[in-house]
Structure 1
Amino acid sequence: MLGWALTFLIVALVAGILGFGGIAGASAGIAQILFVVFVVLFLVSLVARALRS
């Protein structure tokens, strides 16, 4: 999931450099959402692992 967030971040950067503001904004928004989901799932897995052992 982190890989997808980085992919959308790169797409947003390239689109921003080329002047496509709408695509850059949408890609950046998707990258932010995916990153937050990744962090939440990572924290949940850390807590589950700590409780299991």
Structure 2
Amino acid sequence: MSFENYEQLGEAWHNYANGGGWAKHQEIMDDVAECDSPRVYDARMVVLGGNNR
């Protein structure tokens, strides 16, 4: 999952935590996945102008 900015990330986390997303996730993923520490990466796309290789 990716977001264009931190505002969108925050909104998604708010919905997940307070909008029932966590409960639905538990219902669907119970016995399917195991989670460890969450990770957040901040990246910027870099494009070399005129070089499409």
Higher helix share: 1
Q: Same fold (TM over 0.5)?
A: no
Which has the bigger relative contact order, CA under 8 A and spacing at least 6? 1
Q: TM-score, normalised by structure 2?
A: 0.36
